[in-house]
């Protein structure tokens, strides 16, 4: 991922969690985190436990995410007309400062009122600074948060029903994205996006393309009704798995025959080596050790070369789509 792609991903997360953007440039963004994002990113379980117990209003942290450190440093140097400005406090420095007594006794912050000190995030000039580049710990954290929260969703099509008109009717679809792996000593990955109607059992391929073209919302739109599904989720899942298995059986599996031939060839080499080795060993302990090594080597080769096909669910969701919405066939 290049800096622009990283920034696009981070901004989508910040918008989805309703964070307040205070400053933005092509190389960085400074945001006041929403309570949801603060819980996800700042690792402050004791603070949030305190907020929940007392019912006090939450004071979230302000973070600066830098996507292009060199461009950010150059822009800061140009703005000052001198050397680059010193970096703001890092997240670790801010965490350490958050438990230190403040000169003013904590001001009006929640923790200041109760314990006499304020979180660093609430203190002027203290903004945690993170370089969010591909491979950085902060970006990996964001990936993990998005994966954990976005793997299973429920969404509604934002059907615009005119005022005074009868309610729009939505039908329910189950969408599942499968990652299929064709493995041997080589590997090929495929993504199968399937959707099944819980009204009729109709299965549609490339269902993600259909969803991408629709306006979706996590809340039921006004003047909209969801018709009760006919199919249950377990029945629909079984139908999708049967459909995917049937599709995979129709593949050309010459690759598996080639892999099996390479497996047999490798096992023949190992057999020849260890059979000769075992014949030359007279000590029982040495023979036992060599035999154990022989079996381990065969298992290793079988794992590496044996052809196999696996399918795992990457993400899934229940989508309530307008009954008149065209579906790709």
pLDDT digits (tens, 9 = 90+) for 52-65: 998 888 889 999 99
Region 168-192: mean pLDDT is: 93
Region 210-231: mean pLDDT is: 90
User: What sign has the CA pseudo-torsion 39, 41, 43, 44?
Assistant: negative
Which two tokens mark 284?
Answer: 């029982």
Residue 108 has pLDDT above 90, yes or no: no
Region 21-34: mean pLDDT is: 91
Lowest pLDDT segment from 2-6, 76-80, 219-223, 278-282: 76-80
pLDDT of residue 104: 42
Which is more confidently placed, 121 or 2?
2
pLDDT of residue 90: 52
Residue 103 has pLDDT above 60, yes or no: no
Residue 243 has pLDDT above 60, yes or no: yes
Closest Cα to residue 295, out of 324, 271, 261, 265?
Answer: 271
Region 298-308: mean pLDDT is: 93
Burial group, residue 81, by CB count within 10 angstroms (0-12, 13-18, 19+): exposed
pLDDT of residue 129: 80
- In degrees and rounded to multiples of 5, residue 59 shows phi and psi of -110, 100
Distances (CA, A) of 278 to 40, 151, 274, 301: 58, 52, 6, 19
pLDDT, tens digit (0-9, with 9 covering 90-100), for 78-95? 666 544 544 555 544 444
- pLDDT band, residue 218 (cuts 50/70/90): confident
Instruction: Please state whether the predicted TM-score (pTM) of the whole model is above 0.75.
Output: no
pLDDT of residue 164: 75
């Amino acid at each position: 991922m290049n800096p622009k792609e990283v920034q696009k991903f981070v901004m989508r997360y910040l918008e989805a969690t309703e964070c307040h953007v205070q400053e933005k440039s092509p190389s960085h963004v400074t945001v006041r985190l929403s309570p949801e994002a603060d819980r996800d990113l700042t690792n402050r379980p004791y603070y949030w436990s305190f907020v929940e117990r007392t019912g006090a209003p939450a004071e979230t942290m302000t973070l600066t995410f830098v996507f292009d450190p060199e461009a950010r440093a150059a822009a800061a140097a140009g703005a000052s007309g001198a050397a680059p400005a010193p970096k703001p406090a890092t997240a670790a420095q801010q965490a350490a400062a958050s438990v230190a007594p403040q000169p003013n006794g904590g001001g009006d912050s929640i923790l200041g009122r109760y314990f006499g000190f304020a979180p660093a995030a609430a203190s002027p000039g203290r903004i945690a600074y993170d370089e969010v580049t591909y491979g950085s710990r902060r970006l990996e954290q964001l990936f993990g948060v998005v994966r954990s929260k976005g793997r299973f969703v429920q969404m509604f099509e934002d059907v615009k029903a005119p005022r005074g008109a009868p309610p729009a009717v939505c039908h329910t679809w189950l969408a599942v994205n499968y990652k299929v792996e064709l493995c041997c000593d080589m590997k090929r990955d495929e993504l199968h996006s399937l959707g099944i109607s819980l009204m009729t059992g109709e299965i549609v391929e490339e269902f993600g393309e259909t969803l991408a073209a629709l306006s979706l919302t996590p809340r039921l739109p006004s003047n909209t009704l969801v018709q009760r599904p006919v199919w249950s989720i377990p029945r629909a899942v079984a139908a999708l798995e049967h459909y995917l298995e049937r599709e995979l059986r129709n593949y050309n599996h010459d690759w598996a025959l080639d892999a099996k031939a390479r497996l047999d060839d490798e096992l023949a080499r190992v057999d020849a080596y260890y059979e000769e080795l075992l014949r030359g060993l007279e000590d029982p302990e040495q023979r036992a050790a060599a035999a154990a090594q022989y079996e381990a080597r065969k298992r290793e080769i079988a794992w590496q070369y044996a052809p196999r096909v696996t399918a795992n669910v990457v993400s899934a969701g229940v989508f309530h789509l307008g009954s008149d919405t065209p579906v790709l066939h």
